[in-house]
Amino acid sequence: MAAANPWDPASSQSAAGLLLNHLVASGIVTKEMLDVSKKMAPCFVNFSRLQQISDIQAEIYQNNLELELLKLEKDTADLIHPSCLTEKCDVLQSMNNHLEAVLKEKHAIRQRLRRPMCQENLPLEAVYHRYMVHMLDLAVTFIEKFETHLETVRNSPHLDANLQKISKALAKMDILVNKTEELAENILKWQELQTEMSLSIPRMLTEERHLHELAVVPPLPFFPKAHTETPNAK
């Protein structure tokens, strides 16, 4: 049942109502002022909405908390879930039974391990024979390369030093390659020069022979002029 508005003079004659009637009668408070005071302020109108928002936020927080609990339960299911614990217990029980059997046959197993295994056939099902053949091929290949693998393992700590040596050797090889290229160019130039000389030698010999022939030719004989006598000479 809604409570009576104490600001309404028409409500039951309470102390507040009597006071308001007296104030209206004396002219201190008017009817209009009382009507204005009945209207709720805007801040009070939003109180219900704020309460609803608070309730919704509390519900969201509760749902998030339940979701975190479910995730935690999922992550720890293998530790606390009964079915997972039962499966683990079964596995542990099987291992325990196997260990008990091994301990019971400890003496026989120890004696068997002391005996050599040479010239004995190991029981192997037929479906695994081809895999066994492939494994033997791999074992033979591994044994053949075992020394190489050991050498690689031994040299692995000195890998940096070996790389430095290889770098220095490569630098020296580059220098030698450059010198070899220069030497090859010099050899080609020398060959060209020798070819030019071999072509010029016959010409030089021909010229020298020609000069020699010119030097060997005897000079022409010299004949003095005959003196003719003139009539005046007598």
How far is the C-alpha of 83 from the C-alpha of 77, rounded, in Å? 9
Q: Which of 38, 29, 30 is nearest to 7 (CA)?
A: 38
Q: How many CB atoms lie within 10 A of CB 9?
A: 19
pLDDT at 1: 41
pLDDT at 61: 93
Q: Report DSSP letters for 11-28, one per residue.
A: S---HHHHHHHHHHHHTS
Query: How confident is the model over 44-63, as pLDDT tens digits?
Result: 556 777 788 888 999 999 99
Q: Which helix (H) or strand (E) holds 36?
A: helix 31-38
Query: How confident is the model over 10-36, as pLDDT tens digits?
Result: 545 666 677 777 777 887 777 777 666
How far is the C-alpha of 208 from the C-alpha of 90, rounded, in Å? 118
